[in-house]
Amino acid sequence: MGELKDGDLLQVAGHEYLVRIAASTGRKATARVRGAQIFVRVPSAAEPNLRRTMLSELEAKLQTMLSDGPPAQKGMQPLQFTDGQVVEVLGVKYAVAVAQGVGTESRGTWYRDWIRVELAAGLTAAERTEHTGALVRRLITARALPIVTKRVRELNDLHFGATIRRVILRDQYSRWGSCSAAGTISLNFRLLFAPPSVLDAIIVHELAHTRHMNHSPQFWAVVRQAMPDYDAAERWLVANAARLGVQRPDDIEG
Nearest of 108, 86, 104 to residue 95 by alpha carbon: 86
**pLDDT computed for residue 77 by the predictor:** 54
Report long-range pairs for 164-171 (Cβ below 8 Å, ≥24 apart).
Answer: 164/207, 164/210, 168/16, 169/141, 169/144, 169/145, 170/16, 170/36, 171/79, 171/137
**pLDDT computed for residue 186 by the predictor:** 92
pLDDT band of residue 36 (cuts 50, 70, 90) is: confident
**pLDDT computed for residue 63 by the predictor:** 83
**Superfamily covering domain 86-240:** Metalloproteases ("zincins"), catalytic domain (3.30.2010.10)
**Whether the predicted pLDDT of 247 surpasses 50:** yes
Question: Could you tell me whether strands 114-119 and 30-34 are parallel, antiparallel, or unpaired per DSSP bridges?
Answer: unpaired
Alpha-carbon span 103 to 118, nearest angstrom? 9
In angstroms, what CA-CA distances link 206 with 135, 179, 220?
28, 5, 11
**pLDDT computed for residue 61 by the predictor:** 82
pLDDT band of residue 250 (cuts 50, 70, 90) is: very low
Reported pTM? 0.68
- Largest interatomic CA distance in the chain: 64
**pLDDT computed for residue 254 by the predictor:** 35
pLDDT band of residue 74 (cuts 50, 70, 90) is: very low
Comparing 39-43, 71-75, 157-161, 165-169, the range with the smallest average pLDDT is 71-75
Alpha helix stretches (DSSP H) within the chain: 48-65, 125-159, 196-208, 217-226, 230-240
Query: Domain segments of the chain: what residues?
Result: 9-65, 86-240
Q: Is 77 helix (H, G, I), strand (E, B) or coil?
A: coil
Alpha-carbon span 40 to 24, nearest angstrom? 9
Higher pLDDT, 251 or 89: 89
If you average pLDDT over every residue of the chain, what do you get? 85
**pLDDT computed for residue 253 by the predictor:** 35
Alpha-carbon span 9 to 182, nearest angstrom? 9
Nearest of 171, 175, 174, 173 to residue 192 by alpha carbon: 171
**pLDDT computed for residue 55 by the predictor:** 87
Q: What is the mean pLDDT of residues 184-196?
A: 93
**Whether the predicted pLDDT of 252 surpasses 50:** no
